[in-house]
Every structure is written in structure tokens, then in C-alpha cells.
Amino acid sequence: MLLLGLTGSIATGKSTVSSILSQAPYSLPIIDADVLARKVVEPGTAGYKKIVAHFGPTTPDLLLEPPSTPDPSVDFSKGAPLNRPALGRRVFGDSEEKKRDRAVLNGIIHPAVRWEMYKQLLSCYLRGCWAVVLDVPLLFESGIDAICGTVLVVAVTDPAIQMRRLRERDSHLTAEDAENRVRSQGDVRDKARRCEARGPGAGVVIWNDGGKEDLKKEVDRVMKEISRASPRWWAWLLLLCPPLAGLAGVWNLYRGQVMNRKWKEQELQAKARL
């Protein structure tokens, strides 16, 4: 089973690509890290309790207030849901304090998301899926790229496009809020360079400076290349021969770790030349 790691930065079109891949003619299962991240911090979960314990004393508006009129779509029986905008203001930004808070939050969420992701991957393998998409905004930062056969980065060449799309999508954000959110996920062009450094077939950049139709054509081109490199018969062979699947997984992980080491070495050498 081919693991397609899909990433990008906020407002670059990653979710649109994920939606395209989930529909015909691809119809690939999508494991969305953002969806899992919400699931693992729902009231009553271990992640929720850790977030409330750490951030609650210093973030008065961390939890939503019960509505005056009961809302059946919001469950308060296990505790008040997290106020995501308030938590976002606490962790998004370039200050050292916000970076520390963001690291704490990621340390709570990432392990829980990873465990849920592995369970869904096993389910996809047992169903005989040819490929599965791991939709992870922080794919490189979390190290999940190491287990992926192919990494797809959805990027834009001009940061102004990213800012414009974000404020059009989330009109409640101020210019400063939008800029903080974009910066918190790193420069998407750096992710594109890292993706391309993986080599042909292992890393593909989907440039999304145009409209949705242009994006669909680009996705179609990319998926044709990936299908040729990883045919469906290989997925069936791995399903019918679990030991071979295990060996393939170990080899893929080793290859991913080698790629990451080479990238870090290249970055250190580039910094040393400055």
C-alpha cells in the first residue's frame, strides 16, 4: 500500500487537493490529521484534560461558555469544548513564549494523532487499498514524511497569494492574525525545496498559483506519474504476503530516514556558507 504524504501550508490549497483525491476517479481514503487533532482533544479525552490543565489557569477564555439556548450539536456533558480561536491566539506567533506554548500543545496532540493515524492505516491495508493519503499540515515537522513512499507538497510561489486566500476564507482574521498563522507553519517554498530534494517519484510539488481547474489538471498529471511508479498489483501482492509488506515498510522507513539526514546535512552546509 502506497502512503502519499500530503502537506503544504495554510491557504495553499492542500484541502482542495485532498478533496480531489477523495473523489472519482481516484477515490483514495484520506486520513486527515486536522480531523484527528480535533477528535483527540474532544471533552473527556486525555488530550483535552492535558490542555485544560496546562493552559486553563492562564487562559481564562480557553473553554466555551454554555449557550443560553441549548444547542444539540454541542455536547457539554463531558466538559466545555475548547475555544479554538482563544487557543490559537495563545500559540500562534513568533515570540519565544508562543513558540514554547506551541511546542507544549504539539507535544500533547501529535502522539495521540499519530496513534489514531496508525490504526486507520492498518484498516486501509486490510481492506486492500492501493494507496492512502496522509493529509498532515506539519508532515515534515512531525517526522511522518519518513514513512511515506511519496510526499506531495501543495505550494504557491508568491506569499501574497497565500495571505489573500487566507483572509478571503477566514474573514474574521486581522492582517496580523493571518500573518502569524502563515508564519507558524513555515515558508511553504522551503517545504517545496525539501520535497524536491527527496528525488523523482519520492517528492512531488503541486504549484497552485492559478484556479481550481488548473489545480485539477496538475493533480491528474501527478497521479498518472505516481500510478505508473506504484502499480495496483504491487498493493495486492503486499496484502497477500504480509511478510513482504513488513519488509517493504521497513525499507520505506529506512529510505525516509536517509532522505531526512541528507536534507539536514545540506541545510547545515548551506548555513555554514552564509
Give this prediction's pTM: 0.81
The reported pLDDT for the residue numbered 77 is 74
Which architecture, in CATH terms, is 1-29+130-274? Answer: 3-Layer(aba) Sandwich (3.40)
Assign 174 a pLDDT band (cuts: 50, 70, 90): confident
Does the structure show a pLDDT above 70 at 129? Answer: yes
Distances (CA, A) of 224 to 24, 26, 27, 97: 14, 10, 14, 45
pLDDT digits (tens, 9 = 90+) for 78-89: 788 888 888 888
Average pLDDT over residues 172-183: 79
Domain layout of the chain by residue ranges:
1-29+130-274, 39-128
> How is the chain split among helix, strand and coil, in percent rounded to 5?
60, 10, 30
Assign 70 a pLDDT band (cuts: 50, 70, 90): low
Average pLDDT over residues 249-260: 89
More confident site: 235 or 132? 132
Distances (CA, A) of 61 to 45, 65, 84, 90, 184: 19, 8, 10, 11, 22
More confident site: 271 or 120? 120
Secondary structure (DSSP) of 19-73: HHHHSTTT---EEEHHHHHHHTTSTTSHHHHHHHHHHGGG-TTSBPPPPSS--TT
- Please state the separation of Cα 20 from the chain's center in Å: 16
Average pLDDT over residues 96-123: 90
Greatest CA separation for the chain: 62
For residue 150, the cross-strand partners are 4
CB 181 within 8 A of CB 10: yes
The reported pLDDT for the residue numbered 75 is 67
d(CA 134, CA 118): 10
Q: 74: Cβ–Cβ under 8 A, 6 or more apart, which residues? A: 64, 67, 81
Check whether the bond before 25 is cis (ω within 30° of 0): yes
More confident site: 70 or 226? 226
Grid coordinates belonging to 24: 472519482
Assign 137 a pLDDT band (cuts: 50, 70, 90): confident
